[in-house]
Structure 1
Amino acid sequence: MNLETGITEKQQRIARYAKALGHPVRMYVIELLSKQACCYSSDLTDVLPIAKSTLSQHLKELKDAGLIQGEIESPKIKYCINKKNWIEAKQLFEQLFKV
């Protein structure tokens, strides 16, 4: 717990996950990845009507939050759900909504 603010580490983690999930494009990516093992960023570019640079920023946000992981398979990047963090996020949200 941060003694100055009273904010716990758990609250910080769930806020980070929530922020990462707080955009429809990111929700689309998460839903897509949850239905299949992995996908390449180029596949996402084909189905989403957004610029590659914009998609890159969304993927970076999800990756920085730890919800997805990327593996370089030159010249592409393969993205998958980070199962450990996804399970943690699910548990944190379930606990939050039980209140």
Structure 2
Amino acid sequence: MGLGQTILPSLVILAAFGCVPPLLSLLVCRSRYRYARAKGRPVGWALGAMWFSAAAFILNLVLLSVSAILLSSDPGWTRLQAAMLLLGWVCFWLWVLLILTRRAKRRRVQY
């Protein structure tokens, strides 16, 4: 088994945990931004969350490409990959928070 066969699973795991949560967070923030803008509500927080998610997604893509280069020469986890996973973790919880707050508002009954 060559070194190239062990790199691919690591990169897939890094992409799944590092790039998917910021992308999901970006999509939810974008829909929340559009909804708030259509209703005439303040959009600053949604715009900020959207920019954070977009920056985290782009940064994680860069870190993923750097990780591919680093893993090909020295297999093992580095601080770059840890930072990538940390950003993914923060965006995951931002995504969960936005999903939960949207559903909580839908359940309210107005009398």
Compute the TM-score of the two structures, normalised by the length of structure 1.
0.31
Larger gyration radius, structure 1 or structure 2: 2
Compute the TM-score of the two structures, normalised by the length of structure 2.
0.28
Compare the two structures and name the one with the higher helix fraction.
Answer: 2
